[in-house]
Chains A and B, each alone.
Chain A
Amino acid sequence: MARIELRNLRKDWAGAAAVSQIDLAIDDGAFIAVLGPSGCGKSTTLLMLAGIYNPSSGDITFDGARVNDVEARDRNVGIVFQSYALYPNMTVLQNVMFPLRFKKVVAGEAERRAREISALVRIDSLLERRPSQLSGGQQQRVALARALVKRPHLLLLDEPLSNLDASLRLSMRTEIRRIQRELGVTTILVTHDQIEATTMADRIVVMNAGRVEQEGTAKDLYEEPRTLFVASFIGSPPINLFDGRAQEGGIKVHDALLALTAPVTGDVVLGLRPEGVRVESGGRPARVVAVEPMGREVLYSAEFALGNVRFLEPGADARHREGDNVTLGFRGGEALLFSRETGLRVAARVAA
């Protein structure tokens, strides 16, 4: 267990930066998620933490001590790969005991610890099997046990749930969370799945193109995204985005003129969460073009004064049908404004 810090971390591949300017501090025992699309540098960051890659510049510290030059095998980091990376030539028990081989743990003690951790991740009935005889979920648990058996300073999970089917993913999410709490191990989860990130981690770091876009709780990221990328990446169904142009007295979006609380300049992007758009009297006219029942709620697409918009209504039954004319409104405070040029959030909001 350790407090981890990354300071101005950078990794170049053949001259181009895969990761740059990563600054992060992870408290002892915290569970954070690194979220981003594929190729954003999150796995590279993970492997630098594990000591597989050397950073091109910047520092990694464990409990204040710089570990850049410490070899992977001495960092005491546990890692679970998307492919699980179990050793096919060994039984489950041998797999779990493997890390203890290098730790000068007495044989009997090693086996006791391996069995203990196996009970914790609930694979104690599989110990004599080979990895090829296990299902994906079981392999996942074995990989977790192997990563945890040496009591790591830091547990790294690289897309650990991607290869599991939907229901297993749900239960493993809870399982990993339970095990992490029980052991109190500092954990970093790398994922491209926002549900995984928001449900499992205390804090989320959103990465894009090798940089940290924003860091915060799921609520922060959803309600107060700092950049257009975060706003569009977080949320399902995704946020509605409309191009607008600054004008005298507000912004012009499609046919509509919206008043702002403060003046802006240049092109802007207006973001509206689907649940922030409501059918209400006195709104702007719209025509429903698609109805998608999703179980607990219904997702509609409509042609709106601002452009095409998706909105959600709670309840299993659809209240509007394709072709219906409705009037839609939204609260000015819930609308997000971004500068088109920089992608950054602007301070102004839509008035009322």
Chain B
Amino acid sequence: MANEIAAAAVPAGAGADWASLARGARRKRVAGQSGLLAFLLIVSVPIVLPFFWMVVISFTARSGGVSTDVLWTSCAVIAPAVLIYVVVHSLSPSPRLRLVVGVALLATVAALLAALVGKQFHFGNYRFLWDANIVEEIRSKATAGGQFPSVWRAFFNSLALALTQTIIILAVASLASYYISRFAFRGREAFLQGLLVLHAFPAMTLIIPIFLILFWSGLLDTLAGVILVLATIELPFYVFVMKGFFDGVPWDIEMSAMTDGASRRQAFLLIVLPQVRVGLIAIAVFAFIRAWEEYIFVRTLLIENKNWVMSLYLFWVSDDIMGVDYGIVAAVSVFYVLPSLLLYVFCQKYLTQMTIGGIRG
């Protein structure tokens, strides 16, 4: 955009020096891009640095305090490499050069890190993956044995919670939002507004009534109870998002399917659903990650350690050994964050398609 304005400002009459104009435009484009990159780099530091620190701690810390030597050493190695790559990337459009420089920098960084901090590197903090008794081991045998379940129990509880949640939300949100998108019924507008209000309503305020309802219905301290509660609270949002996707599917296609001999249900399954595939993937990823990271409700509604999910496991680990062994807390955090991270990395192009009320965001 800035380039277009710049180009328009220079009168390109007869005898204009096209070469110098082009040079100027190129210089502006490079400057603009590097400026943008620099800005993004700077603002991402406060977000990336803590995560990086967590990873560094999990691989280097030993019992006792945490030293920041390793963190700063690795930053000192990595930051210049990133800067060099940014400069190369903005100056050269050739993908081959970029690739070569990138690989060379990666190799250099790896070699330097191995030489400078390689000795501190160890997997000991990850022993919780196969050894359930880490906490007792660290804090002395005085605590009651077997207080901690295996991390895999929490992991599979979390997985069960997140997957069931995702399936419920996919099924209910797709059907409900299709109906809202396609059928005129009495109170449709009010229903839509109700959905928005429900989403804006802080669910946390309901925590005591929900606790009591689950207690009376015998669902307290069960995964099923938490799943029902979370699905109920989250659904309005997903119904709203999916409605936007269904609104984008033209009527003609559905009418066409029905004259072609499909029933309404067949038209929905064979023709309409495939076209909102992106939306379905987006809300599935979102629902999964939301359930995976859920803390407040599971903290309130799950009690026994056989029902712990990953967020509770992390909480109890840090509660019990924070200040004693940061390494293990960091390692559990890394393990906890990994599935979310992978999902984000592989599905980010779908997540950016999320819409609310039909406006692409």
* A and B are partners in one complex rather than unrelated chains: yes
Q: A102 touches which one: B253, B256, B262, B277 (CB < 8 A)?
A: B262
B360 to chain A, nearest CB (A): 18
Is A160 engaged at the interface, CB distance under 8 Å to the other chain?
no
Please measure, in the bound complex, the distance between the C-alpha atom of A87 and the C-alpha atom of B259, giving whole angstroms. Answer: 13
Chain B 265-300 interface mask (CB, 8 Å, partner A; 1/0): 010001100110100000000000000000000000
Complex partner residue of A77 from B252, B259, B277, CB under 8 angstroms: B259
A88 proximity list for chain B (CB < 8 A): 275
With A73-B263, A81-B252, A102-B266 known to touch, is A87 a contact of B271 (CB < 8 Å)? yes
Tell whether A89 pairs with B274 under 8 Å between CB atoms, given A81-B252, A83-B250, A83-B252.
yes
B residues near A102, Cβ cutoff 8 Å: 260-262, 266
Chain A nearest Cβ from B342, distance in angstroms? 27
A320 within 8 A of B: no
Q: Which one, A72, A86, A89, A103, contacts B258 given CB within 8 A?
A: A72
Residues of B contacting A50 in the complex (Cβ-Cβ under 8 angstroms): 255, 259
- Chain A contacts for B253, CB-based, 8 A: 85-87
B274 pairs with A99, CB closer than 8 A:
no
Q: B257 contacts the other chain (Cβ, under 8 Å)? A: yes
Q: B residues within 8 A CB of A52?
A: 255, 258-259
A73 touches B275 (CB 8 A): no
Given A85-B252, A89-B275, A78 contacting B259 (CB threshold 8 A) = yes
A85-B250, A87-B271 are known contacts. Are A51 and B259 too (CB-CB below 8 A)? yes
B254 to chain A, nearest CB (A): 8
Answer whether residue A75 sits at the interface, using C-beta atoms and an 8 A cutoff. Answer: yes
Complex CA gap A74/B262 in Å reads 9
Q: What separation, in Å, do the CA atoms of A74 and B260 have in the docked complex? A: 9
Chain B residues lying within 8 Å of A146, measured Cβ to Cβ, are 256, 260
The one of B257, B261, B263, B277 in contact with A103, judged by C-beta atoms closer than 8 angstroms, is B261
Q: How many A-B residue pairs have CB under 8 A?
A: 66
Q: Which of B255, B263, B270 contacts A85 (CB 8 A)?
A: B255
The chain B residue with its CB closest to the CB of A101 is B261
Q: Flag whether A32 is at the interface (Cβ < 8 A).
A: no
Q: Which residue of chain A has its CB nearest to the CB of B260? A: A99
Interface flag for A150 (CB, 8 Å): yes
Collect the chain A residues with CB atoms within 8 Å of residue B263's CB.
73
B38 to chain A, nearest CB (A): 39
CA–CA, A85 to B258, complex, Å? 12
Residues in A whose Cβ lies below 8 Å from that of B260: 73, 98-99, 102, 146, 150
A75, A82, A86, A89: which contacts B259 (Cβ < 8 A)? A75
- Least CB distance from B133 to A in Å reads 52
Q: Which residues of B contact A82 (CB under 8 A)?
A: 252
Which B residue's beta carbon lies closest to that of A76? B261
B266 contacts A47, CB within 8 Å? no
Range for the number of chain A residues in contact with chain B:
20 to 34
Bound: A346/B253 CA distance, A? 46
Find A73's partner among B262, B270, B274, B277 (CB 8 Å cutoff): B262
Across-interface contacts of A71 in B (CB, < 8 A): 258
Select from chain A the residue with minimum beta-carbon distance to B263.
A73
- Smallest beta-carbon distance A71→chain B, Å: 8
Given the complex of chains A and B, what is the CA–CA distance between A77 and B256 in angstroms?
10
The complex places the Cα of A81 from the Cα of B253 at a distance, in Å, of 9
Contacts A102-B266, A150-B260 given; indicate if A79 touches B255 (C-beta within 8 A): yes
Q: In chain A between 41 and 99, which residues have their CB closer than 8 angstroms to a CB of chain B?
A: 47, 50-52, 71-79, 81-83, 85-89, 98-99
- With both chains docked as a complex, state the minimum distance between the C-beta of B253 and any C-beta of chain A, in angstroms: 5
Q: Beta-carbon contacts of A104-133 to B below 8 Å, as 1s and 0s?
A: 000000000000000000000000000000
Most buried by B among A47, A73, A77, A146: A73
- Chain A positions 140-192 with a Cβ under 8 Å from a chain B Cβ: 146, 150
- Contact status A73-B250, CB under 8 Å: no
Smallest CB–CB gap between A284 and chain B, Å?
53
The distance in angstroms between the C-alpha atoms of A139 and B256, with both chains bound, is 14
Q: How far is the CB of B71 from chain A (nearest CB, A)?
A: 49
Residues of the A chain whose Cβ atoms lie less than 8 Å from the Cβ of B275: 88-89
> Smallest CB–CB gap between B328 and chain A, Å?
48
**CB–CB B255/A47 < 8 A:** yes
- Least CB distance from A225 to B in Å reads 33
A134 to chain B, nearest CB (A): 16
- Are A73 and B259 closer than 8 Å at their CB atoms? yes
CA distance A82 to B252 in the complex (A): 9
Q: How far is the CB of B249 from chain A (nearest CB, A)?
A: 10
Alpha-carbon distance A102/B142, docked complex (angstroms): 71
Residues of chain A lying within 8 A (CB to CB) of residue B266: 102
Within the assembled complex, what's the spacing in Å between the Cα atoms of A146 and B261?
12
Bound: A103/B252 CA distance, A = 21
Q: How far is the CA of A102 from the CA of B261 in the complex (A)?
A: 6
Residue of B nearest to A73 (CB): B261
- The answer for the CA separation of A345 and B261 in the assembled complex, in Å, is 45
Taken together as a complex, chains A and B put the C-alpha atoms of A72 and B263 apart, in Å, by 9
Distance A73 CA – B256 CA, assembled complex (angstroms): 10
CA distance A87 to B267 in the complex (A): 11
Q: How far is the CB of A273 from chain B (nearest CB, A)?
A: 38
Indicate if the CB atoms of B261 and A85 lie closer than 8 Å.
Answer: no
**Minimum CB–CB distance for B270 against chain A, Å:** 8
Complex CA–CA separation, A82 to B256 (angstroms):
11
Most buried by A among B259, B261, B270: B259
Please indicate the chain B residues that have their CB under 8 angstroms from the CB of A87 in the complex: 253, 256-257, 270-271, 274
Give the Cβ gap from B261 to chain A, nearest Cβ, in Å: 3
- The CA of A87 and the CA of B270, in the complex, are separated in Å by 9
Query: Contact residues of B with A, CB < 8 Å?
Result: 250, 252-253, 255-263, 266, 270-271, 274-275, 277
Q: CB within 8 Å of B: which residues of A?
A: 47, 50-52, 71-79, 81-83, 85-89, 98-99, 101-103, 146, 150
12 contacts between A and B (CB under 8 A): A47-B255, A79-B255, A79-B256, A81-B256, A85-B252, A87-B257, A98-B260, A98-B270, A102-B260, A102-B266, A146-B260, A150-B260
In addition to A50-B255, A85-B253, A146-B256, 20 A-B residue pairs with Cβ atoms within 8 Å of each other are A51-B258, A51-B259, A52-B255, A52-B258, A52-B259, A72-B258, A73-B260, A73-B262, A79-B255, A85-B252, A87-B256, A87-B274, A89-B271, A98-B260, A98-B270, A99-B261, A101-B262, A102-B260, A102-B262, A102-B266
Q: Which 8 pairs show the lowest CB-CB distances between chains A and B?
A: A102-B261, A85-B252, A89-B274, A85-B256, A99-B260, A81-B252, A72-B258, A73-B261
